[in-house]
Amino acid sequence: MDQQQQTAPHMLTVAVTGASGALGQALLRGWHARGAQLIAISHSQAPLELASADGQPIPLQQLRWQTGQEPALLEQLQDVDVLVLNHGINRQRERSAEATEASLDINALSSWRLLEGFAALVAQRSAAERDARPRPEVWINTSEAEIEPAFSPLYEISKRLLGQLLSLRSLDLARALRLRRLVLGPFRSALNPAGVMPVGFVADQVMLQARLGCNLIIVTPNPLVYVLMPLATLGRWLYNSLLTRT
Ligand X SMILES: NC(=O)c1ccc[n+]([C@@H]2O[C@H](COP(=O)([O-])OP(=O)(O)OC[C@H]3O[C@@H](n4cnc5c(N)ncnc54)[C@H](OP(=O)(O)O)[C@@H]3O)[C@@H](O)[C@H]2O)c1
Residue 92 neighbours by CB under 8 Å, 6+ apart: 151, 152, 155
- How many chain residues interact with ligand X (CB under 6 A)? 26
Output the smallest distance, CB 242 to ligand X, in A: 30
Please choose, out of 37-45, 72-80, 173-181, 206-214, the segment that lies near ligand X by the rule CB under 6 A.
Answer: 37-45
| 155 catalytic per annotation | yes
The yes or no reply on residue 140 touching ligand X (CB under 6 A) is no
> Of 101, 95, 233, 118, nearest to 176 (Cα)?
118
Q: Measured from the CB atom, is 1 or 46 closer to ligand X? A: 46
Residue 23 contacts ligand X per CB under 6 A: yes
Give alpha helix (H) positions in the chain.
3-7, 22-33, 70-74, 97-103, 110-123, 127-132, 153-173, 199-211, 223-243
Q: Which of 144, 155, 166, 186 is catalytic?
A: 155
Question: Toward ligand X, which CB reaches closer, 93 or 175?
Answer: 93
Q: Does 217 bind ligand X (CB under 6 A)?
A: no
Residue closer to ligand X by CB (options 4, 99) is 99
What is d(CA 219, CA 12) in angstroms, rounded to the nearest whole number? 24
Residue among 190 and 208 whose Cβ is closer to ligand X: 190
**86 binds ligand X, rule: CB under 6 A:** yes
DSSP, collapsed to helix, strand or coil, labels residue 41 as strand
Which residues are designated catalytic? 155
